[in-house]
Amino acid sequence: MVGTQVFDGERLRLARLAKGLTLDELGGRVSATRQYLNQLEQGTKQPTDVMIEALAAALGVTERFFTLPARSGVSAEQCHFRKQRTTPVSVVSQVLARGTLLDSFIDRLDRALELPDVSFPDLPVASTADIESAAEEARHQWKLGTGPISSMMRVVENAGAVVSFFDGVSERVDALSIDRPRPMIIRSEAKPSACRLRFDLAHECGHLIMHKGIVTGDKATEDQANRFASAFLLPRSAFIHEFPRGRMLNWQAIFEMKLRWKVAASAILRRAYDLRMVSADQYRTGYIHLSKTGQRKFERYDDVIVAEEPELLPSAMMALEQASPGAVRRIAADAGLEDGMFESVSGLDLPPEADMDMTNLVPIRR
């Protein structure tokens, strides 16, 4: 029951977009017409308490969600993902809406916990040389040396980003990052290969470092982020030292590099081409070889490189829950999120509700 607080149509729209529902689809779930729902979103009508209850249940939010003051939502220039001109507006809206909801939860979590300081340097770039320098500078700032990155996940999480998972977003979006006070990196593909995930994380890291306040998603900025990922994971000087030279591509050595650097053979090949260590012909021949041997999606050794899992959000939730059972649910509820919506925007389950029988027990501290 919302009571005397005012129902905000914008909040309804936010939850509906985050769920990826059209007005018609939501109407089907709550037995209402699209025109009526549109009027609610526009603020020209106020819903009944029964309708508020039905909308909250259909969208996986609390009834209070609709009355919460709207924080400034995630805007287009804060959200980095590959947006082709053909990407439907509904997909973009869904990503922005989910980002806004996840951000509202993380903002509250951030106030309750000490999370790593956000330390992504701000390095705008104008040329390829700038991108190479930005990758070197980031490695230097984070004291990573010039060797293989042991865990790309830990690099971004130690730099303060929260890594999460959006379920059920269009296949057109594979990974994205959102530049908020606590940056978020989101995967939308359930199980990418370990190398692919590392590259995606480095790519998003590139956006957060190079594209602050810039609207991205076009080919030029995506290419810049790819180049950053490539340069960050395979530093120029070390790569030149290790890449096998010769008239023919030495696949055994390339796959040894893959195991050592945990970067896909296709990305190693591309790096070699970008640094002009192989010709365009050699690069294309190599790519065709990978394709013909069925390695375009799954490469040799993809199954032996262990996938990196996000740690920050799960361990933050666990720490809070241990210190204060039920606190995570309270924070989620404070942000207006119920189980369904929480899972959609974080890829995680809320901790089970505290056993009602335990509520009258007071833990004795030693």
| DSSP code for 5 | S
Q: By CB under 8 A, is residue 86 in contact with another protein? A: yes
CA distance 264 to 121: 26
Put the strands of the sheet holding 79-81 in their side by side order: 79-81, 175-178, 184-187, 162-165
Q: By CB under 8 A, is residue 57 in contact with another protein? A: no
Q: By CB under 8 A, is residue 331 in contact with another protein? A: no
> Whole-number minimum distance, CB 218 to another protein, in Å?
6
**Residue nearer to another protein on the CB measure, 68 or 275:** 275
Q: By CB under 8 A, is residue 220 in contact with another protein? A: yes
Sign of CA dihedral 38, 43, 45, 50: positive
Task: Decide: residue 323, CB within 10 A, 0-12 exposed, 13-18 middle, 19+ buried.
Answer: exposed
**Residue nearer to another protein on the CB measure, 241 or 247:** 241
Q: By CB under 8 A, is residue 155 in contact with another protein? A: yes
> Whole-number minimum distance, CB 197 to another protein, in Å?
16
344 close to 60: Cβ distance less than 8 angstroms: yes
Other CB atoms closer than 10 Å to residue 234's CB: what's the count? 27
| Helix (H/G/I), strand (E/B), else coil: 184 | strand
Q: By CB under 8 A, is residue 147 in contact with another protein? A: yes
String of contacts with another protein for each residue 259-278, x by CB under 8 A: --------------x-xxx-
String of contacts with another protein for each residue 309-328, x by CB under 8 A: --xx--xx--xx--x-----
Q: Which amino acid is at 209?
A: I
> Whole-number minimum distance, CB 352 to another protein, in Å?
21
**According to CB under 8 A, which one of 54, 68, 91, 112 is a site residue for another protein?**
112
Q: By CB under 8 A, is residue 36 in contact with another protein? A: no
**Residue nearer to another protein on the CB measure, 296 or 353:** 296
Q: Strand runs (DSSP E) across 162-268, as ranges?
A: 162-165, 175-178, 184-187
Do strands 184-187 and 175-178 pair parallel, antiparallel, or not at all (unpaired)? antiparallel
Q: By CB under 8 A, is residue 68 in contact with another protein? A: no
Partners of 184 in beta bridges: 162, 178
**DSSP H or E segment with residue 80:** strand 79-81
Q: By CB under 8 A, is residue 146 in contact with another protein? A: yes
Q: By CB under 8 A, is residue 248 in contact with another protein? A: no
174 close to 180: Cβ distance less than 8 angstroms: no
**Residue nearer to another protein on the CB measure, 57 or 277:** 277
Residues that bind another protein (CB under 8 A): 84-86, 111-116, 127-129, 132, 143-151, 154-155, 157-158, 218-220, 223, 235-242, 273, 275-277, 280-281, 283-284, 287, 291, 311-312, 315-316, 319-320, 323
